[in-house]
Amino acid sequence: MKNRNSNEFSISNIDEINDSGCKEFKVGEGDWPFHGFLVKYGKNIYAYKNYCPHAGHQLNWSPDNFLTPDKKKIICSSHGAIFDIESGLCVSGPCVGSKLLKLECFINNERVIIKLP
Ligand code: FES
């Protein structure tokens, strides 16, 4: 749901995301909607574009599945790049040093709001 006169979108209730859990989202319709995902980590929530800087693939192969087994990093299912949850920086794999596209994200009345670039 788009907020009036802005590029902010209400994505989800915060309690719909488990601790160390993720939630995919899509904004827009037609041929080129924006695909992203939320990560709840500790007391914080992060939002990223679902686009790997290595080869441009989406990061996940199954719904809402973006984390390593220990749930401490983001992993790309295509070739195994590992990303820091807080910064989006690739710390291991074929694109070390590159970053996921991080989105502004905040909570308002229990809703997770993201701001598209
Ligand atoms: S496309 Fe993500 S690691 Fe290759």
- Count of structural domains, the chain: 1
What is the per-residue pLDDT across 73-97, written as a single tens digit (0 to 9) for each?
A: 999 999 999 999 999 999 999 999 9
Residue 36 in any domain: the answer is yes
In this predicted structure, what is the pLDDT of residue 1?
Answer: 63
Range of the domain at 64: 8-115
Q: Is 93 in the pocket of ligand 1 (CB under 6 A)?
A: yes
115 in ligand 1 pocket by Cβ < 6 Å? no
Q: How far apart are CA 82 and CA 88, in angstroms?
A: 9
* pLDDT < 70 stretches in the chain: 1-5
Instruction: Give pLDDT, residue 53.
Output: 98
Give the CATH number, domain containing residue 37.
2.102.10.10
* Cα of 19 from ligand 1 centre, angstroms: 25
CA distances from 60 to 10, 74, 110, 111 (A): 22, 10, 26, 24
Q: Is residue 42 part of a domain?
A: yes
Residue 3 lies in a domain: no
Give a yes or no: residue 99 inside a domain.
yes
Residue 2 in any domain: the answer is no
